[in-house]
Structure 1
Amino acid sequence: MWTMLDCWKCFSSHSALNLQSRMQLKHHQACIFALTWTAYAGTYLLRKPLAVVKTDLSNELSMTRTDLGWLDTAMLFPYAAVQIVFGSSADKYGARRTLAVCLMTSAMSMASFGLWHSFYIYAVLLFINGAAQSQAWPSCVKGLGAWYTTQHRNAIFGIWGTCTFAGGVLGTALAVHLQTRYGWRDTFFIPSFILGGIGLMVLMFLHSPSDLQVVIPGKDLESAVSEKLDPATPSFVSLWKLPMLKEVAISVFCIKIVRYCMFMWLPMYLHQQLHYGKAGSGMLPTSFEIGGVLGSASLGYLIQRFLRGQMLLGSGLAILASTLSLVCFLLTASWGAVPNFTLMLIAGAFNCGVDPILSGSVPSELGELDGRKIQASVSGFVNGFGSLGTVLQGPIVGAITEYYGWSGMLYLIITLSLLGCLASLKGYLIGTGLRLNGTTQKLQMGV
């Protein structure tokens, strides 16, 4: 017979084992969070230098604004198209291998960028860079989402989404530093070296729960295995038919155009129209991304706290607030650095803050409807479709500013921001209707 002491020893041993397992799980989750955060933030080290050196390309190589717009397109078109068509790569081959190849290919393509003098060579290198980076977002969503339950995903993706905007700030700061100290041709090699190193770390350490035989509370091991590889590739049509996906994708399409106009053209606008110096025009636009960090970290919590988790309603209201901030920026552009910085900070907080919701947690949940595990496919579709807007912004903004001046660009992004707001609110109404009709089980983001 067992004594009370034997029972206590057994209970203590079991409790210690459970505590050890929980601590081990938290350690793995923290490592995967940090690694995927660093990996996606690192992609901006090779996206942001182009915006910083546009004035140099214009002055030294006599490129027009339309030429510079086409360079944007050379990078952003493959980013969008490859992500839509091959967004399921992480579902097929695993997030670790897909992301590692993506980062190292991106690094190799841009290492020699500053050595050339040809518009066409620049376009080819940017094309390879964009195609390689297209797999970064769906791979990170797949790799990170495997370690968390749906209950925790919104909060986790909100905090993790700061990588997009923190990476933009770091990428801009590094590019400005290299440009001002060494010249624009030396702004690409060091970022390429850093990103290649991050790719090697991903290859060595980005493991899924099934790789480590770790069971996530709320997920069984079979579910974890199915999240690693899913040979069934959904078609474009089947993805488009998912409830609310069209509205989410259109909303992301609009806000990405606005965001990339800020990323790719605001430095030049500040330098030429508002007469900022090179350093000031390069660094002040980071206020948009600093706002993005703040908004991304807090918006998901605020929506959960005050709107009971109604993600699409909260996203629509946030995009509306961003639109109003852009209107105020248009009206007060000549008032100086403090109003410019403040309004860009506010606009960035609301525009960028919805990105991890609309491109991360919402697609991740949609990808699990009906027991399917196609998170990478759905998130790749939404982010890729949204990135089509970034493809169009280059030549469109270049042409608009050539013929109508910089105010034409500001009117354009205000209009598109408003359309993104309306698309998100329409998705909210569709989700509400599905819930009332009893045809959906887990679409909390639309209620």
Structure 2
Amino acid sequence: MRFVQDGFARTLTRKRWRMSGVSRDAPLGVQFIQKLSNSWCPRWQINRLRWYQASVLVLTFFTYMTYHLTRKPISVVKSVLHQNCSALVPPPGTDPHDDQWCNWAPFNTADANTLLGTLDSAFLFSYAAAMFVSGMVAERVDLRYFLSLGMLTSAIFCYLFGVGRTYSIHNISYYLLVQAGAGIAQTTGWPGTVAIVGKWFGNSKKGLIFGIWNSHTSLGNILGTIMAAEYVDSDWSLSFIYPALVMGCVGAVVWLFLPPEPRLVGLASAVNSRNSPARQSSRSDEEDDADDDEESSVIVGDQSASLRPNRHSANTAPSEEATERTSLLRSGGSESAVSLTRALAIPGVLEFSLSLFFAKLVSYTFLYWLPSYIRFTMADLSARQSGELSTVFDVGGVIGAVLAGLVADCTACPALVCVAFYSVCAPMLFVYQYLGASSYLVNVALLVVTGMLVNGPYALITTAVSAELGTHTSLAGNSRALATVTAIIDGTGSVGAAIGPMLAGVVSSRSWTNVFYMLIACNFMALFLLLRIARSEFLKLKQERRMASPPRVRIE
């Protein structure tokens, strides 16, 4: 009798889990909220899909925001690691012949800018090299564990850089190793967050969604700059320790509450039905009988990457159910993860990757050297004021990301949008270099416009374009390519991001004007690489408008 009761209890428990739709592999926080909801509000009716989508968007937003939060302090602290000691009053007992008394060893040399550029390169080269591997790993593991462990590791390395001052560590090898380790740990962020958002939002138009969502990069830069600037003049170790603490706390929240895919909370069928062609068609007919069924796609060369789910869709739920025995490393069943060579063969991946190489070179040069450049050109500003002024560039980046995503959604021509931004960006860099230091207000205005033009195409390529190419029709239904394609594009861009700050450190020791010439040349290279795709998009857009216009009847 006891055996029958135990069997009945287990059956009832399984039914309750099946009715709630939440898998045992779902995050513990989600399971707890579901149980609490079933107990206290059993008749509460909500749109679970919308709630989960909103929570995923918010959690991944704050997740990647903290990744940039811990990247930014080094650019602010540079201005006190090496500065012009002649402008400061030396403390009593200082050797009057020592013109490096105020600088932190080992950066108290004439080639300090080169050493600081090497620090950036240690982070960015390790980031670029590990990104290609990270994308393939992300396709094979539970993304919640992947992100939370990556965030914890990144927080530890950020903390270790700060304690270098606390324990008076003056060995350059220590800082290089910490930066290299941080670069590897940071590669967990981008493939993981983009893949999760892509799985939850299906074939909805991603340009505007990702444009708004991608403001996490700029917000992380702004908050990281503000936190670092608060302590940079008093104790720069805290400029690293506090961002590391914030990232560790957000990582714990991610582990507790972030569902990496709809299947774990019983919403795979809801996402697929909402994204089905039939539903899209009926919705289009209701809105406008004259419009055809609209398809969310990105035109790449002569082909289009459709986000419509079908039997091969990247958003199709796997057939097997997750249980408590589901391992962190999944075997993948009958579908193997996509290889690098196959991902590179997707039309448009190579062009967008190389274009991002130069776009990210320009963006990260500003990211790591803008506070130092502002303090060099406006000597009356302190290190804290220079760091706070540099945040205006990121404010412009938020505007540019949203604007580029919105225009790309309206035109379905991302390459054409990028080319338009690049065309205006090059002359704007020239204007900022010559007029930026004329006054504080002029500097603010030009930084907003420059940030908008620099970060607009960069944000569009790394988010919406990467997500759509990851579901390209040439993949023949492989649903595990999204993180790999994202990693290829972002990894290639990260190589440029590593080279840019390093070259800026070497070139700036001679002339900052030459740094801007380098950035303008890179901007033109990014433009030229997308001309072929932009031309194809323009011709297709022109053809579609011609077909949509009513035929003209000539009456004689």
**Normalised-by-shorter TM-score class:** 0.7 to 0.9
Moved more, 354-363 or 249-258: 354-363
CA contact (8 A) 1:296 1:352 kept: yes
Do residues 135 (structure 1) and 179 (structure 2) align?
A: no
Query: Does the Cα contact within 8 Å between 1:248 and 1:427 map onto a contact in 2?
Result: no
2:225 and 2:387 in contact (8 A); partners too: yes
For residues 37-76 of structure 1, the aligned pairs below 5 Å read 37-58=61-82, 59-61=103-105, 62=108, 64-76=112-124
Q: How far has the Cα of 1:432 moved from its partner?
A: 6.6
Asked if the contact 2:80–2:383 (Cα under 8 Å) also holds between the matched residues in 1, the reply is no
Aligned with 2:523: secondary structure? helix
Secondary structure at the aligned position of 2:532 is classed as helix
Q: Deviations over 1:125-175 (max 9, x none)?
A: 111111011120110001111111223322211111111111111111111
The residue type paired with residue 392 of structure 1 is I
- The equivalent residue for 1:86 is 134
Is 2:250 aligned against 1:144?
no
CA distance in 2, matches of 1:96, 1:436: 44
Amino acid at match of 1:311: P
Cα contact 1:321–1:347 (8 A) shared by 2: no
Letter in 2 for 1:60: W
> Could you tell me how far 1:366 is from its partner in structure 2?
1.2
Mapped to 1, the partners of 2:49 and 2:339 lie a distance apart of: 35
| Aligned equivalent of 2:350, options 246, 259, 284 | 246
2:463 is the alignment partner of 1:357: no
Gaps of 5+ in 1: 1-18, 438-447
Instruction: Tell me whether 1:194 sits opposite 2:246 in the alignment.
Output: yes
Of 425, 428, 435, the match for 1:322: 425
| C-alpha separation in 2, matches of 1:56 and 1:169 | 19
Counterpart residue number, 1:121: 174
Are residues 422 and 43 of structure 1, via their aligned partners in 2, closer, same or farther at CA, if it must alter by over 3 Å? Answer: same
> In the alignment, what sits opposite 2:486?
379
Q: Which residue matches 2:281?
A: none
Cα-Cα RMSD: 2.5
Deviations 1:383-432 (A, max 9, x none): 11101011112321111122x31111111111111211222333323567
**Kindly tell me: are residues 363 and 436 of structure 1, through their superposed partners in 2, closer, same or farther at Cα, counting changes over 3 Å?**
farther
Which residue is 1:341 aligned to? 444
| Residues 121 and 499 in structure 2, CA contact (< 8 A), matched pair in contact too | yes
Query: Does structure 2 conserve the Cα–Cα contact (< 8 Å) formed by 1:91 and 1:377?
Result: yes
Matches for 1:2-401 after TM superposition, within 5 Å: 20=45, 23-58=47-82, 59-61=103-105, 62=108, 64-116=112-164, 117=169, 118-180=171-233, 182-207=234-259, 208-214=261-267, 215-216=270-271, 217-218=274-275, 223-225=316-318, 232-275=336-379, 276-305=381-410, 308-369=411-472, 370-373=476-479, 374-401=481-508
Q: 1:326 touches 1:343 (CA, 8 Å); kept in 2? A: no
- Give the AA of the match of 2:240: F
Matched to 1:212, the amino acid is: V
> Equivalents in 2 of 1:325, 1:425: separation in Å?
20
Counterpart contact for 2:401–2:456, Cα < 8 Å:
yes
Mark the structure with the bigger radius of gyration.
2
Contact 2:392–2:444, Cα closer than 8 Å, also in 1? yes
Q: Please tell me the residue identity of whatever aligns with 1:251.
A: S
TM-score scaled to structure 1, two decimals? 0.87
Q: CA deviation at 1:434?
A: 9.4
- CA–CA distance in structure 2, aligned partners of residues 55 and 167 of structure 1: 20
Distance apart, 1:193 and its partner CA: 1.0
SS at match of 1:60: coil
Match of 2:521 among 406, 415, 419: 415
TM-score, normalised with respect to structure 2: 0.71
Change (3 A) 1:226 1:37: farther
- Once residues 205 and 397 of structure 2 are traced to their aligned partners in structure 1, the CA distance between those partners, rounded to angstroms, is 21
Distance 1:300 1:394 in 2: 27
Are the equivalent residues in 2 in contact too, given 1:54–1:68 (CA < 8 A)?
A: yes
Query: How many Å separate the matches in 1 of 2:346 and 2:536?
Result: 12
Alignment deviations for residues 211-256 of structure 1 (CA, whole Å, 9 cap, x no partner): 1011211168971338996563333332222111111011111111
**SS of the residue 2:400 aligns to:** helix
Amino acid in structure 2 at the alignment position of 1:241:
A
Question: What amino acid does structure 1 have at the position aligned with 2:401?
Answer: S
Aligned sequence identity (%)? 27
Q: AA paired with 1:360?
A: T
> Contact conserved, 2:401 with 2:457, CA < 8 A, in 1?
yes
Q: Secondary structure at the match of 2:139?
A: helix
Return closer, same or farther for 1:342/1:209 CA change in 2, 3 Å cut-off. same
Aligned length: 415
Aligned partner letter, 2:530: S
**Residue matched to 2:7:** none
Letter in 1 for 2:60: T
Greater helix fraction, Structure 1 or Structure 2 = 1
Secondary structure in 2 matching 1:280: helix
Aligned counterparts of 1:356 and 1:20: Cα–Cα separation in 2: 37
Q: Give 3-state SS (helix, strand or coil) of 2:195's partner.
A: helix
Structure 1 window deviating more from structure 2 (411-420 vs 266-275): it is 266-275
User: Which residue number corresponds to residue 9 of structure 1?
Assistant: none
| Conservation of the 8 A alpha-carbon contact between 2:209 and 2:405 | no
What secondary structure does 1:372 align onto?
coil
The 1:310/1:431 distance shift into structure 2, 3 A limit, reads: closer
Preserved contact between residue 102 and residue 133 of structure 1 (Cα < 8 Å): yes
- Please tell me whether the aligned partners of residues 232 and 383 of structure 2 are also in contact (alpha carbons under 8 angstroms): no
